Structure 1
Amino acid sequence: MQNIKNFKRYHPDYVHKKCLEHAVGAIFLISEDDQDWYECQKLFQPDTMKVEYETDGIIRSMGYDISAFCPDGCSIAEVSEWPKEAAPNRKWCFIDGEVVPRVYTADELREQATHKRDYRLEQAAKIIAPLQDAVDLDMAADTEKVALLAWKKYRVRLNRVDISTAPDIDWPKAPQIA
């Protein structure tokens, strides 16, 4: 099983003139052990799963066709086992020759929680705005007034969520009335 690490861009000393005519926009990559990307592709088996992973192990891409990869700033490895639930969605890592679930740092978990809270606040604001307009213009039905109050309370509870407890956050439930 191949595991060729840390590809970076380089300019080969010699490229055949005919190759350059057809290589407009070509990127030349070389591994940390001086293997040219185009040459080392022949080392990979056609029927194995390959992963493109970053220096911290996070899997950026996966597939069987090695020619579909462009590992600029990454490494490529063949894997013997691929968990059926795994996907190249930044939630999986290639560590010590295995595909494993990613373990997030406390900072990453807080950042994810912040994004989740902010997204929910945006969604609430989209619902609150027309309800508030109806109230402000004295055009609101009783159901709209009830809904507005419920959504405003929800938004206050979202703003009070303690992000520092991520991932163990007790998220408030959105109102079921609109």
Structure 2
Amino acid sequence: MEYYYSAKTNAFYPDILIDEYKKHGTFPDDAVLVTEACFNQYSADPEPGKMRVADKKGMPSWGDQPEPTREMMVYQASEQKNALRDQADKIIAPLKDAKEYGIITEVEDLVLKEWAIYRYNLSKVDVETYPDINWPVKPV
């Protein structure tokens, strides 16, 4: 199998699908045939901190990943906050059920209280303060 590379899309296109790409108008006009070795090298996972880019000649190359923007970091923090909230919810839900039906132990009741306080403190986290986010300490 042969592959084409497009600098515009920074993607490879297998030759067996070219007719389909053209039929749908998605085959880039700058696509060039590359060697199998080139395809194998630049379709593999890069080293940490690197990404595939097009060089000045329009061929694939490894380049440095850009530093994440503040918006990206705020988004990541928001995703982390949601994941922590989901974890707390999963721990709290059965403990609340046990408390509601009077089958909770003293130790479980303390665990419920710690996780409820943690979840409340987590809800107050403002991810917009990145990089100075004050994360609450998760119960053990």
Settle same-fold status: TM greater than 0.5. Answer: yes
Higher helix proportion, which one?
2
2:27 counterpart of 1:35: no
Tell me how far 1:98 sits from its aligned partner. Answer: 5.1
Mapped partners of 2:17, 2:48: distance in 1 = 38
- Superimposed CA distance per residue, residues 86-112 of structure 1 (whole angstroms, 9 cap, x where no aligned partner): 47xxxx574876522332222221111
Pair 1:159–1:93, CA change in 2 (3 A): farther
User: Secondary structure of the residue that 2:64 maps to in structure 1?
Assistant: strand
**Distance change >3 Å, CA 145–CA 5, structure 1 → 2:** same
In structure 1, runs of 5+ residues without a counterpart are 9-18, 51-61, 65-81
What amino acid does structure 1 have at the position aligned with 2:111?
Answer: A
* Distance apart, 1:149 and its partner CA: 0.3
After superposition, residues 1-178 of structure 1 pair within 5 angstroms as 4-7=6-9, 26-28=20-22, 29-30=27-28, 34-37=29-32, 40-42=33-35, 45-46=37-38, 49-50=41-42, 62-63=43-44, 84-86=47-49, 92=51, 94=53, 99-176=63-140
d(CA) in 1 for partners of 2:53, 2:79 = 26
Task: Report how many residues are paired.
Answer: 123
| Identical counterparts, % of pairs | 24
- 1:93 and 1:167 map into 2 onto residues whose CA distance is 28
State the TM-score, normalized to the length of structure 2.
Answer: 0.68
Distance 1:159 1:120 in 2: 10
Q: Which letter does structure 2 place at the counterpart of 1:157?
A: N
Deviation at 1:168, TM superposition (A): 3.4
- Partner amino acid for 1:146? L
> 1:44-95 deviations in whole A, cap 9, x for unaligned?
7548732xxxxxxxxxxx329xxxxxxxxxxxxxxxxx6x4347xxxx5748
Q: Output the CA distance in 2 between the equivalents of 1:86 and 1:7.
A: 20
- Deviation of 1:170 after TM superposition, in Å, equals 2.8
Q: What residue identity is the alignment partner of 1:153?
A: I
Read off the aligned partner of 1:152 and give its amino acid letter.
A
Taking the aligned partners of 2:129 and 2:53, their CA distance within structure 1 comes to 28
Long gaps (5+) in structure 2: 56-60
Q: Which residue of 2 aligns with 1:76?
A: none
Structure 1 residue 116: deviation in Å? 0.7
Instruction: Give the equivalent residue in structure 1 for 2:58.
Output: none
1:94-148 alpha-carbon deviations (Å, 9 max, x no partner): 4876522332222221111111101110110111011011111111100011000
Q: Given residue 30 of structure 2, which amino acid in structure 1 is its aligned partner?
A: Q
